[in-house]
Amino acid sequence: MTASQPQELGTASPLSADERQHECDVALSQRLTLHWPIIAVLAAFLATLFIIPVMVRAPVSDDWVYARSVEILLTSGKLKIFDLAVVTLIFQIGWGGLFALVFGTTFGALRLSTIALMSISAVAFYGTCRELKLSRGRSAVGTAAYLFNPLSFALAFSFMTDPQFLALLVIASYFYVRGLRVETIDRRIIIFGSVAASCAFLVRQQGALIPLAVGVYLVLSRRWKPDLDGLKMALWVAGLPALTLILYYIWLFNTGAPAQQNAFLNQMTGAGWASTRLLFERMTFIEVMYIGFFAAPVVLALIPGALRWRLPRSWVGMAVFVACVAILITGLQIFGMQGRVMPYLPQFVGSTGIGPTDLIGGRPRVIPETWLSPLTIAFAVSVFLFFLLTTSQTGEGSRAERAGPGLLLSLGLFQVLGIMPPSFHFRNWIISVDRYLVPILPFALLLLLWSTRKLPMIKPLAWLAIALYAFFSIAGTRDFLVFQGTTWTMARQAVEMGVPLTRLDAGSSWDGYHLYEYTYDHRIYKQHTPGGPWWTNLFAKATDSTYIVSTQPLQGYDVIAQREYSSWLHSDPQMIYLSRKHTFPGPP
């Protein structure tokens, strides 16, 4: 056919470049329109960057340890993991280093690296919800509950290993769930999951439990057979993580394991059966109660549909439900007699708000003590309903419908085991810390959302509860970073006045960042602040605490400077003080 001849019927002329671009734009617009709920949730999360002073010149809790590793990598090209570190950390150093190259080697840049990773994980969480055949609305509710929970939100604005591991765990879970669909197994997607699991291991050791959990699920669900195809699947799922683990420990043994990693191992092996059993018993109950805290916004929105709830029909579901209720009742009785109320592990989320209080004088309450018992009861009711709703679905649905939830259950249970090893360090002190529990959060939400997919949900009620969580999370995180920034500003003022670092105690993060390496290099083994706070023994034996930054005037000290800081959760003015010992005639 020549150019002058008419076009034959049934044929189409090729699209021009502009027409192809127009079709792509239309398709993208349609996808964005379909998924506007998750876009709105992500936009709300990222909008908090305009409220929270993310670039404040101060670290959060122990993240100064990891920040120093990034600084050393960028200044000297050496990969150094301090003896204080009990985690693998390598991926986090590299990921944080990328942001430090762009935004400068600052604490704020490293916090941005965590926020970015958490944002990516939110998309993965939403994708996992969609893999479970949840509606876009419910998927958005779940994603918001994941992002704006006070514990996950507070950690997102730090450079701690916990949120970076959490994000990689959620990303790996999404790829494994998607790649291991019953109807179609996608090798490439599974390998993406194994890459994310490898990265998770290179942040915290319990990342090794991710492919193990997937393997156990495949065996128990009879989806894996010991043949050539089974070998291939095992390599897709666990080959890269296994290789990563082997290479990491070869490198570690050649360079020398950080002292605290050996110390943690010794604490576990030397704990004894009685102490180990007590820790497991306590942590089992505490984990159950924190599930109630994590799931509360979704549970609240399901209560109006209670007439459609039912008890588990299978004996397995009923047995699990009865066991969980027994743990709940027993734990409430024992902890109640001891006077313990939620939050049981108040490190990052407690009655004083958001963030640790590692400064002499502490911080005042933002949650009245009279509220704690009612909150404990509310979370106990929440977790009771959680177990009722989730166990009622045991054995329900087709094999394909149960595949995703079964895999997520396996992943979640293995992460519960991963909480235990680091908790041995705290077993005779504060039992554990709340940030260790954050890997439970996504699996509790996902399993609850799947189990109740056919039940009515009053979404406005869910959004209201999430909004209350979000308000506390945003205001508390903002207050904590302002508090940290003011503490460090006061400490810098002291140094500018001529105060030597070895005479200044300005809290755990300041002392650790400025004196840990000095203490180590100068081989200072004796604490120079007898009877001082824990961080002057662990991080900064070199300081004699002649000058102290605190939140209140101290007996035996003269206040030489003070500074007010802004707090949204307190009605009274909040102050930071710089004080000097009565007996010391130093500056000013």
Angle at which helices 161-179 and 107-131 cross, to 10°: 30
Give the Cα separation of 530 and 495 in Å (integer).
23
Looking at the DSSP bridge assignments, the partners of residue 559 are: 579
Cα gap 167→207, rounded to integer Å = 11
pLDDT in tens, 205-258: 999 999 999 999 999 999 999 999 999 999 999 999 999 999 999 998 888 767
Low-confidence ranges of the chain (pLDDT < 50): 1-4, 6-7, 9-10
Alpha-carbon distance values, 222 to 201, 246, 399 (Å)? 27, 28, 11
Residue-wise pLDDT tens digits, 471-530: 999 999 999 999 999 999 999 999 999 999 999 999 999 999 999 999 999 999 999 999
pLDDT of residue 14: 67
Residue 127 near residue 121, CB atoms below 8 Å: no
| pLDDT of the residue at 502 | 97
Euclidean distance between CA atoms 88 and 85, whole angstroms: 8
pLDDT score, position 306:
87
Look-up: residue for tokens 């460090």? 488
- Closest Cα partner for 47 from 470, 482, 364? 470
Q: What is the pLDDT of residue 95?
A: 98
Residue 364: its pLDDT value, please? 95
Kindly state the tokens that stand for 552.
């209140």
d(CA 536, CA 539): 6
Is 416 within 8 Å of 461 (Cβ atoms)? no
Residues whose CB falls within 8 Å of the CB of residue 461, separated by 6 or more in sequence, listed in order: 300, 301, 304
What pLDDT does 13 receive?
Answer: 60
Tally of CA atoms within 13 A in the half-sphere of 107 that contains its CB: 23
| Short-list 511, 578, 517, CA closest to 544 | 511
